[in-house]
A = this chain, B = another copy of it.
Amino acid sequence: MSTAGAEPPQEGSLLLDDQLCFALYAASRAVTARYRPLLDELGLTYPQYLVMLVLWEQDSISVRDLGNALQLESSTLSPLLKRLESNGLLRRERRAEDERSVALRLTDAGARLRERAGTVPLAIGDAMGLTPEQNAVAKQLLRLLTTNVTR
């Protein structure tokens, strides 16, 4: 048996389980799946939740700045924002000072949703089951990875 389990992972391996990329991809989907039942109660999908996080932090942001914050294209955001608008959580209005730009503003319902969302981060943090140190290391490594890879 030339490929016994005790061998160290190879840098250039084609084995699925040696690949950080797969661990990353699987973890991302698993976390999103864990969010799903919680966000269903708020009537949000996971990307919609991320948009609301940004808006709760900084209301009246442009589509462009939102895209920069989330690293998403306008072709992803435009339909998503339309759905949030038709669900009554935000309004989109062209800026008077630059008609190219669209300002996103929370409605009252959108602002109120923040209260109900308050328990979500703790519930997810709990489900992740990492120590604060592990959490910090993971976040730091993922950010390093992201900046390296988008360089």
Interface residues of A, dominant DSSP: helix
Chain B residues positioned under 8 Å from A125 (CB to CB): 11-12
A19 part of interface (Cβ distance < 8 Å):
yes
Contact status A23-B148, CB under 8 Å: no
Complex interface bits, A34-63 against B, C-beta within 8 A gives 1, otherwise 0: 110000000000100010011011000000
Contact status B16-A21, CB under 8 Å: no
Known: A124-B21, A134-B141. A146 touches B30 (CB 8 A): yes
CB distance from A7 to the nearest CB of B (A): 14
Enumerate chain A interface residues (CB-CB to B < 8 A): 9, 11-16, 18-35, 46, 50, 53-54, 56-57, 69-71, 114, 117-118, 121-122, 124-125, 127-130, 132, 134-139, 141-146, 148-151
